[in-house]
Amino acid sequence: MFACVAVVGPENNPLFVQTYRSDNVVTGMQEDPIKFHYILHCSLDAFEEKADNKDSYLGLLYPTEDYKVYGYLTSTQAKLILVTHTFNQVKESSVREVFEGLHSAYIDAVSNPFYTPGKKIESKSFEGRVDRIITSTART
Amino acid sequence: MDAYQDATRRGVSGRARLQEHPFVIALEECSTTPVLGANDVVSEFLSTHNKLDLPINLQVLNGRSRRIRDLEVKYLPSEDETLQRIYRHSGSSVNWFRRPYAKVYLVCCDNLADYKKRARPRLRELIEKNDRLRPGGGGDGDHALSGSSGSAANPLIQLTPWLVLYLQGASNTPQTQQQHKKVFQMIKDDFNSSKYSSTAMYYNSASTGAASGAGLGGNPMAATAHKGKADRVCQLVIKPGNAVDGWEDLSRLLGDCVKISFECRLGAYLSEVRNLALLRRTPGWSFDHFFLVKGSLAHMFEQAHVYEEAVREYYELEVIYTDTLEAGAGDGGAETSGNFGDQDPADEEAFILHPSRKNLRSLCKRNEAGNSGSLKEFDVRQYLFAKRALLMLKEVWAAAEDGAGEQAIRQKRHELARLGQQFISSFTRKLQRHSFRAEFVDKWVFSACLQLASVLTMNGEGEEADDAVGRAGTGDRVLSGILADLYIYCHSKLLKLGATLSLDAKRSRRRQKVSKSMIFASPKAPKGSGGAEESDPMAILDDGACQSFEEELILMETEAAVAAAREAAVMAESAIHDAGEDGEDLRDQPRGSMEPGSSHPEATSLSCLESREGYNLYVLSLAREAAEACRRCGRERQAVQLEANNSDILIQQGEVAQARRLLEQQCRLYFEDGWLQLLADLALPQLVECQLKLGDRPGLLSSLSMWLTMKGELEGAAAQKVDEEAIQSALEDLGGKGECSTASAVDLHGAVRVSRSESGGSDLKVLAQKNDVAVLAFTVDSLFPFPVDVKGAAVMLSKHKGGEEASIAPTEWVYFSRASDTNHLRAFSERLRTGSAPDAFAEAAGRGEGSQIAPGGNVMFAAVLCSEVGKYQPTELTATAYGFQFRCGLGEDSGLLAVSEEEPRVTMAPRKGEIYQLDDQMIAIDVEARGEAFACEIGAFSRGLAFKEAWAIREGDAGPPERLADAGARGGVDSPLYRLGDLRGKATLVLRVEGARKAAPGRRDGALLDCELSYTSGLRRTLARSLALSAVAPFEASVVFHAAAEDRTLVELRVASALPWGVVARSCELTAAGEAVSGLFPSEDLLPARLAPGATLTLLYELQSRECGKLEVELGFDHEKGHGAEPGGAIADWAAAMEASGIWGERQTFRGEVAVPAKGPRAVMSAGGDLRLGEATTLTWRVFDGEIGLGYEVRCEEGLWVLAGQTMGTVGKDGVVALDCIPLESGSLPSPELLLGGEGASGGKVTVKPPGTQTLNLTPVG
């Protein structure tokens, strides 16, 4: 369902990028993670366009040929990004729930006194929590 | 691609012009003399006056009106074949809009009789014939309704408003003019009469602006009848010189006619359309006919420049079409590819802006009535959108011509852009649903996007692409955003096509992957929805809009009437098109024919797929256009990536420099945003490849820096993406090929990290004074795997002034040293601390040291001469390596250099400005260093003096004085320099001086002591002081003569030492006339006497005779060794130095003379008894050698004595003065003193002379 989850810092640097099994529509092979990095980086322009949005949840940022990208902007300007396959019909409420769960996990991760702000989030517990959020949503 | 876009724009502009259909005005001659074709003046006048100047208020839908200016009209004579054809087929609702909107009866008569006889009957005949077609009148065969049910219900379609135009030729005589006036008046009387009231009603209602026949919903015939004359006669007066008057009246009347006709036909059309729409569920109903009628109505709106209504008609047509398709699908006729359209290769090129490319109206005519579905949805959808798009474009241009606000024009342009975007998106999905080949769909989308983007960048109808591009979208972020989306989508599709057709085979695999992942932002979620569900514009058309439209319709027609009307319309349309009489037919040419108004064949965007060169060109152009649009709407990242993704093509084409520029932008973007994975995997290796090809040393170093900076954060294989050794060897190879210059310094990023302190801390501050050399130390961590030789290194210091950066100054000296080489570091830092910084840096440079940044940790010393007071912040390190400049930024915790006003670093002051008349003596100079002064050297000079040696006594040093080494004579001065060495705090320098014995005491001018102190404090500095010296006798001696008896005098000799050190008086002899005067006390008991500085030695001698004249005094003394020199005492320094120098023990003799006072009155005091406190004792003074009448006065110190008796008076004959004196204090008291003198001249006062005290000048002997 979800192909990629990412947390991008206020300075637009990637803090956490997690890709999931997603086969290419044409080749049927596993997508190269670099493609998701590329998509994520492109989506930063869309975040800037929608920066004046009052709601943290920015909705669909843009669709590509194969994927759709959703965004969520926290009050500290951290950006949460979800990439889904275009053929998946994802409900808005589901996406919003995923983002809220990710936001909560992100807050806990950066509240860790051993975490250095602005650096990559390398916490195993955060990674596990993100996986749980994604897989539980995909199951439902 | 630009050529294609230009061609598209030209085509759109041309098509828009061709669709300008003027209203037809029929001209009927009613004169015996032919005018049309015969009178050049009239023909010329009519050809040039084809726009109705006066504004016309046209009633359109739902009571709304539009004020139209400059309506175009076309004059057709009644015999004209075109007009005849129009008449023949005008019964069909399809062709109502083609009918003449006015009839103009031309009358030209020479005189009244001619008019009455010939013109008037003819005129009446024609008008009556025309009026027979009025509502309720009997129609003739030519103008009978063609069976259309709509026209039958709206007989006003047949009504053609008329007017009489009297042509008045040039009049040469007043009589002729009079005749013309009479004729014109008679015509007015005849045809403005109420006889023609049935049509006059419309004239007057048109003129007054009241609701006319186009009440649009009501029967115009039901309007209130107007009884009165109508104004429908006007004249054209041909003046001498072929000037024509009367256009204003003619234009007004024509406008009235057009208005009436338009509104009547509009009402009829609406009724017809409504009927047809409501009957669409009936069997036999054909969309084709509805398509023709609705299109005709839209044409009429377009004729009248009411574009908004025309757009609405096409929109409604699309809604009905959708509804019809759905109804067909519901009846079992499910949509199939065949009904939708064939995948004809010719259809791969979209025609969303070319409505006439497929002549759909001709297609309608060719199909038999009732053969519904003859039109393919593929064509109809594109046709309808194309019509709407062109109308919206014309609306934009019209708004621009009318001077509408920028905002309004933008709004219209946005509407078109969004509509186009939605159409492409939804139509693409339709194509996919109908299982069109992917390649077909891609080609269609590619061409459609390109066409739409081309017209969106047009500014005006007449403007060509070169002017339009970049102007229409400039400053309009919304439009730029849509344009960017279109270009990106187009680009993406082209890449896909390229890959399919093997045109893109040489692109790197990585680039292929990501370049298709570019954003396609259409369709976007509607604003405010904020939802994940995308809006589907086609869904809007298919459902909601259709339903609402249907609700507006009124069911009122019958199936038979609709069928008849359809048949008639189709036949009429066929007839007109067969004739091919006007531009309409030219527009409906089949595909592949020539573009009207253009001599060039129609351009096709798909031609770029025929060759790799063309494909590459399109890919690059599209990327460039998309990037520009992205930049205009603030999507910098997309812009950069779009351009950089084509670097493969550029490299293949040999444009490596351009590819490098694009890749540099991309690398910088990734690097600044921190997307290192993308940088390492996608952009940087390719950039390095370009730089290696170009031999770009700065670029290579920059890339390497970037790489090294981020390398530590990369994981796995990504950390091996760049071949560092290749870069190193390239740099070294290229480095030997001479210097190169770069416009801007290469940023070394974190590859070389420079910081003030490893522990950090922004409070790190270096304090310095003006003219100090401030040395800042930095740690430099180099990630370069090889040493980097640098030249011209400097740390930039920014001066802050009131919170703002005021100026930047570079440090003057920089020295690098490996941090692990602690001994070397320590030695250099010590050298910097104790020596001259410039010298230290220069020496290091001379040895070839300090110019290499070694891999790993380094220490950098940067020194600057503080020439200006202020606070300075180190900002970056700049230097040159491999022939070009680089820079490393310093962090915010780089500390601060605070430069304050200069204060004396070293002070120097001679302790006394006096020189003693001695053979040897010491001069002391106090020196103080604030902080540290290194390598101090001191020297002194004074004319006539010889400086023999120097001693230093440092504060806090309890040891013996330090003899200073001789540093050699100073240039030009016969005085040596003494090495003081390093100085901290205070010190006293004691200089041994010879040659002052003969100095003249008291002379202060001309004798100067010049002192000079050289020291090092960052720089080598010299402090010079000059002090005026005065020669001073070492002793101050005085002699006081006291009368002890008549023949004895006591001589009191006082000798005070002026020397700053102690002396021992060894001998003191007083001789008078060559004989020694014996002392009152034995000399052996008194001498030698020790004299501390300032102490006085008093010796008493008794002189028997006062006839000697003068006395000689000879004093012998030694410098006393250590006398009074307690540690820390005032003379301790002297003593210590003198002891060290060994100038003790050299006996010195001073001699002087004093004159004995001349003989005169004197007194000797004696006391009458013991003096006791508080008891009176008589003191008696016996005066010798006094004259009678000699005045006296007794004085005493007040508070010590009480004198009783005459203290002032004259000495008596006995020469005795006696007083009772009572001492008030015990102890040794100064006795009262008798002063003798002459009697004052006035008041009996006595002037007394004090006892003489004479100063004795003691000078050295020998």
The residue extents of the domains of chain A are 2-139
Q: Per the CB < 8 Å rule, is B517 touching A67?
A: yes
Please report which confidence band the pLDDT of residue A100 belongs to, taking 50, 70 and 90 as the band edges: very high
The overall longest dimension of chain B from CA atoms, in Å, is 189
Cβ pair B900, B768 in contact under 8 A: yes
The three state secondary structure string of B362-410 is HHHHHCCCCCCCCCCHHHHHHHHHHHHHHHHHHHHHHHHHCCCCHHHHH
Q: Is A58's Cβ below 8 Å from some Cβ in B?
A: yes
Q: B673, B682, B709, B714: which to substitute to probe chain A, counting the most A Cβ within 10 Å? A: B673
Q: Which residues in chain B are closer than 8 Å to A38, comparing Cβ atoms? A: 513-514, 517, 641, 678, 682
Mean pLDDT of chain A: 86
CB B946 within 8 A of CB B994: yes
Length of chain B: 1262
> CB-based contact (8 Å) between B533 and chain A?
yes
> Residue B1199 — pLDDT band, cuts 50, 70, 90?
confident
Q: Could you tell me if A122 lies within 8 Å of chain B, comparing CB atoms? A: no
State the residue for tokens 């005589």: B173
Confidence (pLDDT) at A25: 56
Mean local confidence (pLDDT), B389-413: 80
> At a CB cut-off of 8 Å and minimum separation 6, what does B924 contact?
B910, B911, B912, B988, B989, B990, B991, B1060, B1133, B1134, B1137
Q: What is the pLDDT of residue A12?
A: 92
| CATH fold for domain A2-139 | Beta-Lactamase (3.30.450)
Name, of B360-369, B715-724, B739-748, the range with top average pLDDT: B715-724
Distance separating alpha carbons of residues B706 and B711, to the nearest angstrom: 8
Confidence of residue B1145 (pLDDT cuts 50, 70, 90): low
The sign of the dihedral angle between the CA atoms of B917, B922, B928, B934 is: positive
Q: Compare CB distances from B675 to A32, A41, A63 and report the shortest one's residue.
A: A41
Half-sphere CA count of A29, side-chain side, radius 13 A = 4
Which tokens belong to B1020? 């080598």
Structure confidence at residue B1123 (pLDDT): 55
Inform me whether the C-beta atom of residue B1158 falls under 8 Å from chain A C-beta atoms: no
Residue A21, classified by CB atoms within 10 Å of its CB into exposed (0-12), middle (13-18) or buried (19+), is exposed
Q: How far is A32 from chain B (nearest CA, A)?
A: 8
Question: B324-328, B380-384, B874-878: which has the minimum mean pLDDT?
Answer: B324-328
CB-nearest partner of A42 from B519, B531, B634: B519
Q: Which residue has the higher pLDDT, B829 or B469?
A: B829
Peptide linkage before B523 cis (omega within 30 of 0)? yes
Stretch B182-210: mean pLDDT: 62
The answer to whether the Cβ–Cβ distance between A34 and B524 falls below 8 Å is: no
For β-strands B162-168 and B976-994, DSSP reports them as unpaired
Average pLDDT, chain B: 74
Neighbours of B271 (CB within 10 A): 22
B8 against A79, higher pLDDT: A79
User: What is the tally of helices (H) and strands (E) in chain A?
Assistant: 3, 5
Largest CA distance in chain A: 45
Q: How far apart are CA B346 and CA B777, in angstroms?
A: 75
**In this complex, how many residue pairs, one in chain A and one in chain B, have their CB atoms less than 8 Å apart?**
107
Interchain CB contact of A99 with B (< 8 Å): no
Which alpha helices (H) appear in B593-655, and where do they start and end? 612-632, 636-644, 647-652
Provide the residue type at B152 as one letter.
Answer: A
Q: What's the confidence (pLDDT) of residue B1003?
A: 53
**The residue to which tokens 């009918």 are assigned:** B99
Residue contact B518–A64, C-beta within 8 A: yes
To test the contact with chain A by mutation, choose from B633, B637, B640 the residue with the greatest count of A C-beta atoms within 10 A, namely B637
Q: Average pLDDT of B783-798?
A: 87
What is the structure's pLDDT at B749? 82
B492 shares contact with chain A (CB less than 8 Å): yes
Q: Cβ A41–B678 below 8 Å, yes or no?
A: yes
Q: Which of A39, A55, A62 sits opposite B521 (nearest CB)?
A: A62
Cβ of A34 within 8 Å of Cβ of B677? The answer is yes
In this complex, the residue of A12, A33, A59 whose CB is nearest that of residue B530 is A59
Q: Return the residue in B665, B671, B675, B710 with the most chain A beta carbons within 10 A, the one to mutate for interface testing.
A: B675
Residue in B514, B520, B675 closest to A35 by CB:
B514
Contact: B673, A12; criterion CB under 8 Å: yes
**Quick check: A38 contacting B, CB < 8 Å?**
yes
Kindly identify which residue of chain B lies nearest to residue A43, measuring between CA atoms.
B519
Distance (Å) from the alpha carbon of B443 to chain A's nearest alpha carbon: 15
- In angstroms, the Cα distances linking B130 to B127, B160, B208, B256, B951 are 5, 7, 24, 17, 140
Task: Please give the Cα distance from B765 to B771 (Å, whole number).
Answer: 18
Per-residue model confidence as pLDDT tens digits over B493-521: 888 888 787 776 566 666 666 665 554 43
How close A71 gets to chain B, by Cα (Å)? 10
Smallest Cβ–Cβ distance between B518 and the set A12, A42, A44 belongs to A42
Which of B516, B637, B682 is closest, CB to CB, to A44?
B637
Mutation target to probe the A interface, by most A beta carbons within 10 A, among B519, B676, B710 is B519
The pLDDT of B718-726, averaged and rounded, is 74
Cβ-proximal residues to B845 (8 Å cutoff; 6+ apart), any chain: B851
Determine contact: B513 vs chain A, CB below 8 A: yes
Helices and strands in chain B: count of H runs, count of E runs? 35, 49
Residues of A in contact with B634 (CB under 8 A): 45, 48-49
Residue A8 — very low, low, confident or very high, per pLDDT cuts 50/70/90? very high
Distance to chain A for B623, nearest Cα, Å = 15
Confidence at B590, pLDDT banded by 50, 70, 90? very low
Q: How many CB atoms lie within 10 A of CB B187?
A: 23
* B630 pLDDT above the threshold of 60: yes
Tens digit of each residue's pLDDT (9 = 90 or more) over B520-538:
433 333 333 333 333 333 3
How would residue B542 be classed by pLDDT, with cut points 50, 70 and 90? Answer: very low
A109 Cβ under 8 Å from any chain B Cβ: no
pLDDT in tens, B812-870: 899 999 999 999 999 998 888 888 888 899 999 898 888 899 999 999 999 988 888 88
- In this complex, do B678 and A34 lie within 8 Å of one another by their Cβ atoms? yes
- At B338, the pLDDT band (50, 70, 90 cuts) reads low
pLDDT at B180 over 50: yes
Instruction: Quick: pLDDT tens for B482-496.
Output: 888 888 888 888 888
Pairing of strands A2-8, A14-19: antiparallel
Q: Is the ipTM of this complex over 0.85?
A: yes
Distance (Å, whole) CA B800 – CA B807: 7
Which residue shows structure tokens 């902007």? Answer: A73
Please report the pLDDT score of residue B606 as a whole number.
76
- Of the given ranges (B34-48, B544-558, B1121-1135), which has the lowest mean pLDDT? B544-558
**pTM of the complete model:** 0.64
Contact B674 A11 (CB under 8 A): yes
Average pLDDT value for residue range B139-149: 36
- CA–chain centroid gap for B794, Å, is 26
CB contact under 8 A, B675 and A13: yes
Question: Given pLDDT bands bounded at 50, 70 and 90, which one contains residue A81?
Answer: very high
Q: Is the dihedral of CA B1163, B1168, B1169, B1173 positive or negative?
A: negative
Considering chain B, what percentage of its residues have pLDDT values greater than 90?
2
Cβ separation A65–B673 shorter than 8 A:
no
Q: What is the pLDDT of residue B151?
A: 44
Most confident option among B359-363, B758-762, B1031-1035? B1031-1035
- The alpha-carbon gap from A129 to the nearest alpha carbon of chain B, in Å, equals 23
Which range scores top for mean pLDDT: B283-297, B331-345, B564-578? B283-297
- Measured between CA atoms, the residue of chain A closest to residue B518 is A64
Which chain A residue shows the shortest CA-CA distance from B714?
Answer: A120
* Tokens, residue A1: 């369902």
Q: With an 8 Å Cβ cutoff, is A115 touching chain B?
A: no
H helices present in B763-869, as ranges: 822-834, 837-846
Chain B positions touching A91 (Cβ under 8 A) are 532
Question: How much of chain B exceeds pLDDT 70, in percent?
Answer: 74
- Statement: residue B474 has pLDDT above 60: no
Residue A82: band (very low, low, confident or very high) from pLDDT cuts 50, 70, 90: very high
Q: Please, which residues bridge with residue B71 across strands?
A: B52
Region of B1185 please: left (phi>0), alpha (psi -120 to 50) or beta.
left
Interface of B with A in 713-732 (CB under 8 A): 713
Amino acid letter at B47? S
How high is the pLDDT of residue B1144? 67
Listed by number, the residues of chain B in 648-707 with a beta carbon closer than 8 Å to a beta carbon of chain A are 670, 673-675, 677-678, 681-682
A contacts of B524 (beta carbons < 8 Å) = 60, 62
Using only C-alpha atoms, chain A has a radius of gyration, in whole angstroms, of 14
Distance to chain A for B717, nearest Cα, Å: 13
B chain contacts of residue A10, beta-carbon cutoff 8 Å: none
Between CA B692 and CA B1032 the distance in angstroms is 86
Chain B residue whose CA is closest to A49? B634
Least confident piece of the model among B364-368, B462-466, B650-654, B1125-1129: B462-466
Contacts of A55 in chain B (CB under 8 A): 530
Choose among A41, A55, A64: nearest Cβ to B637: A41
How close, in Å, is residue B763 to chain A by CA atoms?
A: 23
- B106 near B36, Cβ under 8 Å? yes
Name which residue leads in pLDDT, B791 or B209.
B791
Average pLDDT over residues B935-948: 85
| B841 close contact with A: CB closer than 8 A | no
